Structure 1
């Protein structure tokens, strides 16, 4: 299929836009997609459009949140970098790692809705991955220990406790 704008090159981008139930489709080559109004094309990412992740998160924030006190002049800000919650809602980007903690009541429901989980379970860097994996295993064992104690399964709890001690000693030595 040829590009609908230049009618010379092969179309590699297919854009479908639905506004108020009206569906519009356009087929573009890479060069025309770069020039197309409302879309920017990056070589690695593909299309960065008005429907970018940041804009989607921003829209979800407006839809989901009931942010009290902002209208009364009491702006919620990150204690570390000073970024206001309103800026996150507008841009869809956080300023620092502490923003996740400071805005957790607003950010976590959005992340959960988008990803299905709040905790990252993706790839781990090779250089520091062993320590992260071991700490995660220890945390999981501690949760299992609490469950065993709650169920009054003390034999199992003792075994789990011993595993935790061995792993923590290995972590200190390594």
Structure 2
């Protein structure tokens, strides 16, 4: 598609504007977009979730930063986390536990994991038990929702796990 402004170059910027509930789209090449005062980038794209977490991290108090220290495993500091929105390793969760609780509560509504449990290829008894507990909660929700096909499938998975088979 050619630039709507000059008609010569290939359009690289696709601008959509909504004003007074009316949508207008323009397709511009980089030189025309720059001439109109639009930034054409130059910075690498970042993950929206990482940006959001970084913004949430900026609201953490300065005394929390001093108290948390540095992760002994990867060397990440809470200040680094606030800048990037990413933790360095699994041990960061326990290192920055007190600082992350408020952030996780804001993002997820709680700090207790309630999703699926990862089951490694050769699960230990603890992993199997955690998986069975998770499946039982899902089974209860399926029964409450009267989704009996899903409930039957979950029941069968639970039986296989309790028998020591792979689910």
TM-score, normalization by structure 1: 0.46
TM-score, normalization by structure 2: 0.48
